[in-house]
Amino acid sequence: YRFLNHHAVPGLAWIIDFLLLIALCAAGWGLRRRPAVLVVLGIAFLFLPCLFLLISLRQPVLLPRYLLWSAAPFAVLVGVGAAALLEGRHVLAMRLAVAGVAALLLVNLVPYYHVETKPRWDVAARMLASEVDPGDVIYLSDTGALPILQLYMPHGAQAVVLKDADGDLAHAEKAISEGKRVWVVYGHAGQNTSTPKEFFGPAHALGKPSLVQAAGSRITIVLYDPAVSYASCTILGLQDGICG
């Protein structure tokens, strides 16, 4: 329940976890007379985590957490348990229970559609395509963003924008010393956990920023131009430690 709105309904996550636990226990109790079905579901529930654990001892495996924790068998077991709990209940009680679960799911999903849940690399690609000039250098905080930018970048702009976009800070410093403009792009493309201040601290070696702008709320694009003698900063730049 990563996107659950804890602030809107305090303790809601605990309520959902408690209900899921009850449903799982009910599934186990309800299937006690059908051991074959219970064993099959149990194997399906445990097979993938155990399999990938064994494989990872020899070779690291990257996979979605939903697959790792056997989401499908888990959902089946919870469904069986919920059906067992509602068996023999009054029709009105069953309808109220279903409506309550639907309401919990709705509350859980609402924040997902109101919050920027992933970096807007599509916006960053459009901004860079319209602003980067031939000869400019791109310095990415996460080089994993390169294939994402290639995906969103207009084909006519890829050759210009991404021609020199895989260098490190030393490469960016050299470009500045040669009089080239450097676009520093901060944003996560994978499991990187660095903060803006951690990244932009060493980047102060590039000088004062000529332009600070945001692509969504999780990507920052900063231009360092040796030909511009003044520094341009914003509230975003001050918050992220871009302007020193």
Return the top range by mean pLDDT from 16-20, 65-69, 218-222: 218-222
Q: In this structure, are 102 and 128 located in the same domain?
A: no
What's the whole-number mean pLDDT along residues 118-139? 93
Q: Give me the pLDDT at residue 51, please.
A: 83
More confident site: 102 or 179? 179
Q: What is the pLDDT of residues 215-240, one digit of tens each?
A: 988 899 999 999 886 666 767 667 77
pLDDT band (50, 70, 90) for residue 46: confident
Q: In this structure, are 132 and 183 located in the same domain?
A: yes
Q: In this structure, are 91 and 30 located in the same domain?
A: yes
Q: Is residue 217 part of a domain?
A: yes
Amino acid at 218: R
Contacts 24+ apart (CB under 8 A), 107-116: 107/4, 107/5, 107/8, 107/9, 107/12, 108/1, 108/3, 108/4, 108/5, 108/12, 108/16, 109/3, 110/5, 111/3, 111/4, 111/5, 111/8, 112/3, 115/3, 116/216, 116/217, 116/218
Tokens of 23: 């449903």
pLDDT of 3 > 50? The answer is no
> Mean pLDDT across the chain, nearest whole number?
82
Give the strands of the sheet with 137-140, arranged side by side.
137-140, 182-186, 220-224, 211-214
Q: In this structure, are 133 and 54 located in the same domain?
A: no
Assess contact for 188 and 146: CB atoms under 8 A.
no
pLDDT of 187 > 50? The answer is yes
User: Looking at the 3D structure of the chain, how many domains does it have?
Assistant: 2
Q: In this structure, are 147 and 61 located in the same domain?
A: no
pLDDT of 97 > 60? The answer is yes
pLDDT of 127 > 90? The answer is yes
What's the whole-number mean pLDDT along residues 168-186? 95
CA torsion through residues 48, 50, 53, 59, sign:
negative
Q: Give me the pLDDT at residue 4, please.
A: 47
Q: Give me the pLDDT at residue 141, please.
A: 92
More confident site: 53 or 148? 148
Assess contact for 242 and 209: CB atoms under 8 A.
yes
Q: In this structure, are 192 and 151 located in the same domain?
A: yes
**Structural domain boundaries enclosing 169:** 121-239
Residues in the chain, how many? 244
Q: In this structure, are 105 and 127 located in the same domain?
A: no
CATH number at residue 167: 3.30.110
Q: Give me the pLDDT at residue 93, please.
A: 85
pTM: 0.59
What's the whole-number mean pLDDT along residues 80-93? 83
Alpha-carbon span 209 to 222, nearest angstrom: 6
Tokens of 2: 């990563």
pLDDT of 123 > 90? The answer is yes
Assess contact for 141 and 186: CB atoms under 8 A.
yes
Q: In this structure, are 75 and 16 located in the same domain?
A: yes
Alpha-carbon span 6 to 235, nearest angstrom: 28
